[in-house]
């Protein structure tokens, strides 16, 4: 008995907003440039905005940042995006003001339904509210909502909601204190 049939898998079309030529240009030419080792926040922000990202003033975008779909990205004022951050945003990702996403953080908005034979992709947005710190190598699962002033500790895995001002740690992440 076959439990997953990848031959008949079809990705959802609703996440692919905008003209095909713009998406291809992003994927083939521009995304590798933004994800490069070359330093520079200003030019990265300009390119991301040109492809539909909404980004506030100030902040830093470090080298080797990978963004799947800039048209599904909103970043507030004075945010720091660390090296090797991956925003895998097939669904919308909203990042509030004064947020720090440290190096190696992974924001994942899509996951496959292993209970379905066609291995359907399920998408859910991620929201990280203001004055939050997501520490290095942390993972946020589809549908995660991190409330204001929270801390997600080093290498934690978060799925669901993180209360306002909470400090969470572990896999799965659990509240271990208040900020």
Label each residue of 73-113 as H, E or C: EEECCCCEECCCCEEECCCCEEECCCCEECCCCEEECEEEC
Q: Minimum mean pLDDT among 29-38, 70-79, 161-170: which range?
A: 29-38
Is 2 part of a structural domain of the chain? no
Domain membership flag for residue 7: no
> Looking at the domain assignment, is residue 86 inside a domain?
yes
Higher-scoring residue by pLDDT: 134, 23: 134
Please calculate the CA angle 125-131-134 and round it to the nearest 5 degrees. 60
Q: Which residue has the higher pLDDT, 14 or 60?
A: 60
- pTM equals 0.91
Q: Rounded to an integer, what is the distance from CA 63 to the centroid of its chain?
A: 16
Q: Is pLDDT larger for residue 1 or for residue 15?
A: 1
Q: 127 lies in a domain?
A: yes
Q: Answer for the pair 124, 143: CB distance below 8 angstroms, yes or no.
A: yes
Q: Mean of the pLDDT values across residues 44-58?
A: 95
In a domain, 126, yes or no: yes
**C-alpha R_g of the chain:** 17
User: Domain residues for 59?
Assistant: 17-178
Looking up residue 171, the CATH number of its domain turns out to be 2.160.10.10
Q: How high does pLDDT run on average in the chain? A: 92
Give per-residue pLDDT as tens, 165-178. 999 999 999 999 99
* pLDDT value of residue 17: 64
Read off the pLDDT of residues 75-122 as tens digits, 9 standing for 90 and up: 999 999 999 999 999 999 999 999 999 999 999 999 988 888 888 889
pLDDT tens-digit readout, 146-160: 999 999 999 999 999
Report how far residue 5's alpha carbon sits from residue 2's, in angstroms, rounded to the nearest whole number.
Answer: 7
In a domain, 11, yes or no: no
């Amino acid at each position: 008995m076959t439990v997953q049939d990848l031959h008949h898998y079809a990705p959802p079309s609703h996440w692919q907003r905008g003209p095909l030529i713009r998406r291809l240009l992003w994927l083939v030419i521009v995304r590798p440039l933004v994800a490069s080792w070359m330093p520079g926040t200003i030019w990265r922000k300009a390119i991301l905005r040109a492809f539909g990202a909404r980004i506030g003033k100030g902040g830093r975008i470090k080298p080797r940042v990978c963004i799947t779909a800039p048209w599904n990205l909103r970043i507030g004022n004075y945010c720091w995006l660390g090296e090797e951050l991956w925003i895998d945003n097939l669904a919308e990702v909203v990042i509030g003001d004064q947020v720090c996403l440290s190096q190696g953080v992974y924001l994942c908005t899509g996951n496959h339904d292993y209970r379905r034979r066609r291995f359907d992709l399920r998408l859910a947005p991620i929201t990280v509210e203001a004055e939050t710190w997501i520490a290095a190598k942390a993972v946020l699962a589809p549908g995660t909502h991190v409330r204001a002033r929270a801390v997600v500790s080093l290498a934690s895995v978060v799925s669901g909601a993180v209360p306002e001002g909470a400090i969470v740690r572990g896999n799965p992440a659990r509240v271990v204190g208040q900020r």
